[in-house]
Amino acid sequence: MIRVVIADDHHLVRQGLRALLENSHEVQVIGEAATGYEAVELAEKLQPEVVVMDLSMPQLDGVQAASRILELNTPTQVVVVSMHADTAIIQGLVRRGVKGYLLKDALSSELVLAIRSASAGKLYLSPTISESVMNMLLSPTGDSGPTLTAREREVLQLVAEGYTNTAIATMLSISVKTVEKHRANLMTKLEVDDLATLIRVAIKRGLIFVDK
């Protein structure tokens, strides 16, 4: 049996994925996470073979959570199931080490196949992802825009979710002044002058993922 953790902020989605996977008789769901932080914690604690992850996760989005999971000294692999089909996003995830990427309209059999492939250390991309994505994955990395630190991405995600500087400082165990500095750096890197534009540009560039 392949041990799996499901990470999605919607309870009904998690329950649907659990039922689907357990009916396959190949997968044992050993945990569920509703936030990116919970996904990282469960991956470290339970060390499943695979984490099935959505990108639009609160507090710590799927890209950041996947990166942290893959940096752990465990054999856990990550399969992303998302509504986002942007080629640059998929390219970045695969280059980070994600072993599977499926769109949310994928067949249930595809998800089981992706999990099986990931647990064996092999890459699986949904057939619905265009050939251009594959070509992009094999091409040299081009200009991907501004490079954000892991902390800047965390602050950006929380800002986009509407948290105040004080709340962000408390959540990340840093000072309010440090949060303000990160926000200023983000404005500079993304070349924007106001918060609304910062969030809009960040979402457009795939730097954060927020449920609409």
pLDDT at 92: 82
Cα separation, 165 vs 174, whole angstroms: 10
Residue 138 has pLDDT above 90, yes or no: no
Instruction: State the pTM of this model.
Output: 0.75
Q: Would you state the structure tokens that stand for residue 74, as one six-digit string?
A: 């465990």
Pick the CATH number of 2-138 from 3.40.50.2020, 3.40.50.2300, 3.30.470.20, 3.40.50.150: 3.40.50.2300
Q: CATH number of the domain at 150-204, please?
A: 1.10.10.10
Mean pLDDT of all residues in 137-143? 55
Q: What is the mean predicted confidence (pLDDT) over 161-189? A: 92
SS (H, E, C) the chain: CEEEEEECCCHHHHHHHHHHHHCCCCEEEEEEECCHHHHHHHHHHHCCCEEEECCCCCCCCHHHHHHHHHHCCCCCEEEEEECCCCHHHHHHHHHHCCCEEEECCCCHHHHHHHHHHHHCCCCEECCCCCHHHHHHHHCCCCCCCCCCCHHHHHHHHHHHCCCCHHHHHHHHCCCHHHHHHHHHHHHHHCCCCCHHHHHHHHHHCCCCCCCC
Would strands 27-33 and 100-103 be described as parallel, antiparallel, or unpaired? Answer: unpaired
Give pLDDT tens digits for 92-112. Answer: 888 889 999 998 877 778 899
The reported pLDDT for the residue numbered 139 is 61
User: Quick check: 140 pLDDT over 90?
Assistant: no
- How far apart CA 163 and CA 5 sit, in angstroms, is 28
Q: What is the pLDDT of residue 34?
A: 95
One-letter amino acid for residue 180 of the chain: E
The residue extents of the domains of the chain are: 2-138, 150-204
